[in-house]
């Protein structure tokens, strides 16, 4: 019995390419929901009440302001299925003209499933998601990125997505914008 086990272990160790390799940190990096609405799900949109979609470049999108009207959330969805493929939220001052296309949400603030919300520091972002993969500096704006390809994440492979890209913009070490996108096969 011990010989069979050792033989199986040797086969597995020498043939690791037969098994998908997922980074232990990829599960920390991927932040797949905002205010309880998951990427590639259409069910969560019901939490936001009656939604009126706007059309743009073959996709539909919907915009929500926070209760205080100081944050804006944009969800991009597939037109046929209403599955969410991206979310973006940032500080915003709602004007009267905006009220025609921006719907009010019941949320005071927009927060992701990993606890990312506007105003946190770059250090707090890294504590929640892991070491940043790329950091760009452009004057007073710092942009940080996490990017994963399908072979790096079980979530992407399971949902037939080829890539995950999350970018975070900071001014003065204060998070001012979150943008998360899935690219489907």
> How is the chain split into domains, by residue range?
21-184
pLDDT band at residue 67 under the 50/70/90 scheme: confident
Which residues on adjacent β-strands are paired with residue 102?
Answer: 63
CA nearest to 77, candidates 42, 109, 49: 42
Residue pair 146/163 in contact (Cβ under 8 Å)? The answer is: no
Instruction: Round the average pLDDT of the chain to a whole number and report it.
Output: 80
- Helical spans, DSSP H, in 21-153: 26-29, 122-129
pLDDT > 90: what percent of the chain? 36
The predicted model scores a pTM of: 0.80
Which residues on adjacent β-strands are paired with residue 27?
A: none
d(CA 8, CA 14): 10
What are the tens digits of pLDDT across the range 1-55? Answer: 555 444 443 443 344 334 344 343 455 678 889 988 889 887 777 777 667 778 8
């Amino acid at each position: 019995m011990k010989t069979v086990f050792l033989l199986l272990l040797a086969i597995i160790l020498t043939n690791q390419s037969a098994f998908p390799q997922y980074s232990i940190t990829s599960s920390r990096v991927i932040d797949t929901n905002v205010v309880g609405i998951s990427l590639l799900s259409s069910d969560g949109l019901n939490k936001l009440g009656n939604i009126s979609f706007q059309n743009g470049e073959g996709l539909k999108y919907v915009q929500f302001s926070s209760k205080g009207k100081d944050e804006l959330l944009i969800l991009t969805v597939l037109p046929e299925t209403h599955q969410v493929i991206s979310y973006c939220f940032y500080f915003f001052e709602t004007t009267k003209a905006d009220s025609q296309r921006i719907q009010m949400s019941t949320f005071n603030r927009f927060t992701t499933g990993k606890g990312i919300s506007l105003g946190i520091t770059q250090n707090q972002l890294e504590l929640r998601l892991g070491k940043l993969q790329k950091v760009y500096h452009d004057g007073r704006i710092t942009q940080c990125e996490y990017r994963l390809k399908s072979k790096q994440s079980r979530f992407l492979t399971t949902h037939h997505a080829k890539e995950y890209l999350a970018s975070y913009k900071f001014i003065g070490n204060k998070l001012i914008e979150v943008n998360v996108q899935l690219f489907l096969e």
